[in-house]
Amino acid sequence: MTDRSESGKRLISIICPAYNEQENVQLFYDRVTAMAAPFSDRYDFEIIYMNNRSTDQTRERVLALAAQDSRVKLLTLSRNFGYQASVLCGMT
């Protein structure tokens, strides 16, 4: 999904469905930011974690990342609607 950010660069939104992914939140963030860094002169990006009502520390770990990096967003669904619904919700 692309749009223009406040800087005028194209904005790339990366949607990451998550259900009980506490061990992978930081790893995904690290890999995405490393991949995106070489393109930062042309693009801005954000990571939208779609929390499918995890029962572990997924929410807390994403919120900790969001406190450090404003490009990280968290949307928590009211229940676990499944992978496809969380991707659609993130795109919407």
pLDDT of residue 8: 85
Amino acid at the residue 47: I
pLDDT of residue 2: 46
Successive 10-residue mean pLDDT values, the chain, 92 residues? 70 94 97 96 96 94 98 86 74 82
Do residues 10 and 42 make contact, with C-beta atoms less than 8 angstroms apart?
yes
Whole-number Å distance between alpha carbons of 79 and 51: 9
Q: What is the largest CA-CA distance in the chain?
A: 38
The radius of gyration computed from the CA coordinates of the chain, to the nearest angstrom, equals 13
pLDDT of residue 87: 75
Whole-number Å distance between alpha carbons of 75 and 45: 17
Whole-number Å distance between alpha carbons of 20 and 36: 25
